[in-house]
Structure 1
């Protein structure tokens, strides 16, 4: 039986990934259960509880949860979970502690978990002021200061995806998340493009997709530049599936970000691709259990 073993669960709009994580950063037993087709909280718990019970039987003493939305310090999900509406107003850690009082449970926003994972074991190692941006269905972000997430006064910091907000149908991540770009590419080309097809068209010098890529990175570069001016990070980590195409994405982001900064601010923040890919949130969700001096 593994000493000080943690179960990590990364709840997403389509599925909840889970795995066991050890204090030295080893991840095993990765699996998932669906979330998108569930009708209510009871159905969610019907999938979650067997995972918890199995983990306890395997020796897990901690459960770390990564979840979209605005998460209060007491674990209450206040909102921001449009894809999983049954989680709004729910305190999952409290429910799990009632299910098993000896279990230590924590929960954090998924962007924060990804940033903590990258800080602990990925591209954020050694950074003092780390800004992490995740491009996917939405645009997630989090700020890590000296190894600690910055939650903001109302536990709502890091919502870069809502930048340029003008209405509930018009803000940054609607058109400039990876999902938004793929939707626009599909409309312009008349073909249903996934990420692989979009990248291949770029590598084949398709003019339509190249223009979209330029618009995408220029807009994201403007947002990054504004945040660099405000936060002065030493490193910006770009995560999400698209980060695997770092040879395409990172040079353009660097170019557009630095062009939209005053000269004295250019190239101060290193822009790098995430290293942990889709496992960053799994690592980050349990990172607090392995901090020096924390009783686990």
Structure 2
């Protein structure tokens, strides 16, 4: 019987983790949360991971970790919203050594995309699925027939002469006090741009604001089907565990 994988979602305010049942796509045990250290350097975060894993002594499966940055072959290459010391860090090697476990890191939006395709809003859908997370920025994941195309970073596309996430992220709606109609106009421009570039079969909208999807998704004027994410705040942990199993 395969060991149960463990997922860790590394966020700006909290680090959450739980063993994951890959049959159901749900936590095998109740998750634990530890506040993100300040500063959140790789070494400080590694210490939190050791503490987190120690709370599940009987869980010895592979460990997957989300990172809010570009990840190539286990190395972090960007740090827009985390400590700059992450850039160039071989996070796979660092966390594997610190924890004594097999650890694999993955971009946080990519993890959510994997989870939504396997268990959530895009389950059973073939072709190209684009997941976008609308939050402080816009994260994205491209999954084609179940295979992840990593590090798409579609929130960094140019939109109306601006970086798209500066105009269309949920933080822009809050910062500029936009109505849902005004924000939906900007999202329509963003998603139409994605349509022209990728011709996706489905767009899944995640992020905390997705719980208000009925207030803005019907206002979008795009041809592609757009649906809200289903896994909510479980997506990172579940997707990380899924990634760890290869």
Fold match (TM-score > 0.5): yes
Match of 1:143 in 2: 142
Residue of 221, 239, 243 corresponding to 1:284: 239
Match of 1:113 in 2: 111
- CA 1:33–1:87 in structure 2 vs 1: closer, same or farther (change >3 Å)? farther
- Structure having the higher helix fraction is 1
Match of 2:124 in 1: 126
- CA 1:5–1:54 in structure 2 vs 1: closer, same or farther (change >3 Å)? same
SS in structure 2 at match of 1:243: helix
Q: Which structure has the larger Rg over C-alpha atoms?
A: 1
* TM-score, normalised via structure 1 length: 0.75
Match of 1:51 in 2: 52
Match of 1:160 in 2: 154
SS in structure 1 at match of 2:5: strand
Residue of 233, 249, 260 corresponding to 2:200: 233
Higher relative contact order (CA 8 A, sep 6+): 2
SS in structure 1 at match of 2:104: strand
Separation in 2, partners of 1:230, 1:175? 19
Query: Which deviates more, 104-113 or 172-181?
Result: 172-181
How far 1:131 moved relative to its partner?
A: 0.5
SS in structure 2 at match of 1:219: helix
How far 1:175 moved relative to its partner?
A: 3.5
Separation in 2, partners of 1:69, 1:121? 24
- Unmatched segments (≥5 aa) in structure 1: 186-208, 258-265
- CA 1:44–1:252 in structure 2 vs 1: closer, same or farther (change >3 Å)? same
How far 1:3 moved relative to its partner?
A: 5.2
| Equivalent residues of 1:3, 1:59 under 8 A apart | no
Match of 1:61 in 2: 61
Please tell me the root mean square deviation across aligned C-alpha atoms, in Å. 2.2
Would you say 1:215 and 2:215 are equivalent positions? no
- Unmatched segments (≥5 aa) in structure 2: none
| Equivalent residues of 2:115, 2:242 under 8 A apart | yes
Match of 2:92 in 1: 93
Separation in 1, partners of 2:211, 2:81? 27
Separation in 2, partners of 1:229, 1:150? 18
Separation in 2, partners of 1:183, 1:21? 36
Separation in 1, partners of 2:225, 2:139? 19
Would you say 1:178 and 2:145 are equivalent positions? no
How far 1:162 moved relative to its partner?
A: 1.3
Separation in 1, partners of 2:202, 2:244? 25
How far 1:227 moved relative to its partner?
A: 1.2
